[in-house]
Amino acid sequence: MSKINLYSFILVAPAIIFSVRLILEEVANMLAISDYAKQLNWINQLIRKISRTEVKQSEINEELVSILQMLSIMVSAGESPMSAMKYVSKRSEGILPSLIKQSFMKYEDGRTLTQTLDFIATATGSSQVRRLTNSIQIAIHRGTPILEVLNNQVLALNKQINFNLMKLSGKSEITLLIPVVFLILPVSISFAIWPSIYGLNQAGF
């Protein structure tokens, strides 16, 4: 009987330890999110230091979608792209609006739309902003309406954000399946085969 208990423990123990570790990590993440909600400024700085690029790029993409939508509306209403960007930078808050303001201060004399976007792309290192800059430069050289370029960029960014969300949700689902596979399933199998093992042990096998 003691040998059966030992074998069962050896079978289940690694799965239990691994699952407990995953659960503790998830609890730690939940506590970190809770602390972030209570102590916004301190945790925000800490997260930016630890995983600066990932957090910053996601924020930039979300801000870029909102800014491009506002620019599209204003350009379609007859505003020039530079006037629209100046208005958006004054009315918005975030990383991109602050960089737009810095760009206006940097290019006070003879600034252009491509110079402003190139400054933002260099400062953020965002591939989406760089793609937008290249698209606008091509549109200016070819004479293509900038409004069409802005609308296309909004659609592309929305698709990219949705893809990232689906990718993140897929990883979360896999993480949730790990305790099921390594904890619940082995325990269920142990309970299922336990009577057979016990009967064979009693029979002398």
| Domain containing residue 59: CATH number | 1.20.81
pLDDT at site 38: 46
Of residues 59, 33, 58, the one with CA closest to residue 46: 33
Supply the range of the domain harboring residue 156: 52-163
Q: Copy the structure tokens of residue 203.
A: 């029979």
138 domain residue, yes or no: yes
- The pTM for the full model equals 0.54
Q: Do 56 and 38 lie in a common domain?
A: no
Domain shared by 101 and 65, yes or no: yes
Higher pLDDT, 125 or 84: 84
| Residue 109 shares a structural domain with residue 137 | yes
Residues 119 and 38 in one domain: no
Q: pLDDT higher for 163 or 106?
A: 163
Query: Can you read off the two tokens belonging to residue 16?
Result: 């239990």
Residue 108's pLDDT band, with cuts at 50, 70 and 90, is low
For 61-101, the pLDDT digits (tens) are 778 888 888 888 888 888 887 788 888 888 888 778 888 88
What's the pLDDT band for 42 if we cut at 50, 70, 90? very low
Looking at the structure, do residues 102 and 150 belong to the same domain, yes or no? yes
Q: Do both 150 and 102 map to the same domain?
A: yes
Contact at 8 Å (CB) between 157 and 131?
A: no
In a domain, 112, yes or no: yes
* Domain-embedded: residue 172: no
Is the pLDDT at 37 greater than 50? The verdict is no
